[in-house]
Amino acid sequence: MAIFSIIAFMRRLPRLAALAMLAVALAAPAHADDARPPLRLLAAGSLKTAFTALIAHWNSHHPGQPVAMENGPAGWLRQRIEQGERYDVYASAALSHAEALYAQGLSGPAVLFAHNALCALVKADGPVRAENIVAALLDPATRMATSTPKADPGGDYAWEYFRRLDAEHPGAYAVLSQRAQQRYGAPPQANQPPPPSASELIRRDEVDMALGYCSGARANRDPAVRSVTLPPPAPLADYGLALAPGAPAAASELALFILSPAGQRILAEHGFIAIGLPCQ
């Protein structure tokens, strides 16, 4: 009996060895080549700093799922998606852009995830304050810079503000839309340096006022400029989120984190108006 047992055990050796090798392989740490492909996130340029912090926090709980974020004017990113570019998550500074992708069947339903107020950067030692900023804006001598409408929602929001001012100051829209210098927020050009920032334009004395998002103004550390929140009837920016059809489950998990209180707190810390925090 002992001989037959030894023979049976020897016949099982190849199978046992294979099982042992499989167990070792499963227990071994995954190599870089075994990692999941990065989630492709296309996000508005105004979200870059906040989303970098948000993704770092999310990755601390999902270390095996990298995220590749590309930032740029949200309207331009939307056009790239419409032209067939692959993505997993789209985060726009305009909810309407995400809704347009959904209407075309290029994304799942659009979701509002944050607001952003509009601010003006002005010279730190200048006379512009909250109480006189509209008068300064309407002053023909004021040199004003804005983002680029259509390519970047920041420009669209500025133009909407001009339209609203027209109700109280007839003719304001025609004058302001004509005088505004579209100095940033355009699609990047190959082999061309990026345009100067709003604060650089003011520091160089090329403009007196630059309109943009308050989140960016809050992050500005240039002592030569300061920010002034645009008063009513200035619109609030509506930020929209959408997932690509067939996006991996990790994309949904990232989107849920953006909408969660933890994600919303990170957005609030970076100057956004969070919509998903508990009532105090």
User: What digits encode the pLDDT tens for the residues 53-105?
Assistant: 999 999 999 999 999 999 999 999 999 999 999 999 999 999 999 999 999 99
Q: What's the confidence (pLDDT) of residue 132?
A: 97
10-30: b or e for each residue (b if 16 or more CB lie within 10 Å)?
Answer: eeeeeeeeeeeeeeeeeeeee
Strand order in the sheet with 209-213: 181-184, 144-147, 209-213, 118-123, 225-229
Instruction: Report the DSSP pairing between strands 118-123 and 209-213.
Output: antiparallel
What sections of 62-181 are H helices per DSSP?
74-82, 95-103, 133-138, 153-168, 172-179
**Taking the CB of residue 195, how many other CB atoms lie within 10 A of it?**
17
Q: Measure the CA–CA gap between 51 and 89, rounded to whole angstroms.
A: 12
Over the stretch 147-161, which tens digit does the pLDDT of each residue have? 999 999 999 999 999
The strand pair at 39-44 and 67-72 is best described as: parallel
240: left (phi over 0), alpha (psi -120 to 50) or beta: beta
- At what angle are helices 261-269 and 249-259 packed, to 10 degrees? 60
What pLDDT sits at residue 168? 95
Tell me which residues of the chain have a pLDDT lower than 50. 1-34
Tell me if 189 sits within 8 A of 76, measured CB to CB: no
pLDDT of residue 217: 81
Give me 152's structure tokens: 């970047």
Rounded Cα gap, residues 159 and 234, in angstroms: 10
Whole-number CA gyration radius for the chain = 26
Q: How far is CA 188 from CA 71, 174, 192, in A?
A: 11, 28, 8
Cα-to-chain-centroid distance, residue 94? 10
Distance of alpha carbon 7 from alpha carbon 2, whole angstroms: 9
Q: Confirm if 233 and 92 have CB atoms less than 8 A apart.
A: no
- Phi and psi angles of residue 39, each rounded to the nearest 5 degrees, phi first: -70, 135
What pTM was estimated for this model as a whole?
0.86
Number of H helices, E strands in the chain: 11, 11
Token pair in block for residue 5:
């047992």
